[in-house]
Copies of this chain bind each other. A is one copy, B any other.
């Protein structure tokens, strides 16, 4: 297909498609004439993935490039691909490692070790979890890492199901890796949205004038 059709089917304006080509987020098409190239279904698919990462995942361009490298890299052992994709997905936590941060990292390391989770020492999510613990403590909450235990239980049941589901879809290695990335980014956005919606709903149940909240209501 021509670039105009590629853009139309991908829902992306042609100048943006050209930008992605220049940035290497899309591989070049097959040249058919001077200034003209032919694009296939795999271009369309990649274009849609790029768009999902940028728009739903809100990733910066540099991270999209890293994620695509993880998708395309045929040599990384499959069990490390999640780690690599997550590393590319960030977040980058560049905070100064002052004493309470170092303490929180040790606490989180111990927390994860207790659960028997095998994750890379430098996984960004490990740092992000420690940052959340630091934030709670700096806000004056006297908490240890076990405050996250109920979340870990839910996260593990979710992850087990998700990884199994990806495995059952079959397909090529690239399909599998793409499913991991999409699953991480898109369903993460969905989970966050659903938690907020459920909070709003349960807050209304508890604090609005509805019958159910009467019993639970506290002084305002």
Whole-angstrom distance between the Cβ of A28 and the nearest chain B Cβ:
22
- Are B154 and A200 within 8 A (Cβ)? no
Bound CA–CA A162/B154 (angstroms): 14
A188-212 contacts to B (CB < 8 Å): 188-208
Residues of B near A117 (CB, < 8 A) are 197-198, 200-201
B79 and A208 form a contact (CB under 8 A): yes
Which single residue of chain B is at the shortest CB-CB distance from A117?
B201
Min CB distance, A61 to chain B, in Å? 17
18 sampled A-B residue pairs with Cβ under 8 A: A10-B138, A48-B139, A51-B135, A58-B91, A81-B203, A82-B199, A89-B196, A117-B201, A128-B189, A129-B189, A129-B190, A132-B190, A151-B158, A152-B194, A156-B194, A159-B201, A163-B205, A170-B219
- The interface of chain A, by Cβ under 8 A from chain B, is 10-11, 45, 48-49, 51-52, 55-56, 58, 77-83, 86, 89, 91, 95, 98, 112, 117-120, 123, 125-126, 128-129, 131-133, 135-136, 138-140, 148, 150-152, 154-164, 167, 170, 173, 176, 180, 182, 184, 186-208, 213, 216-220
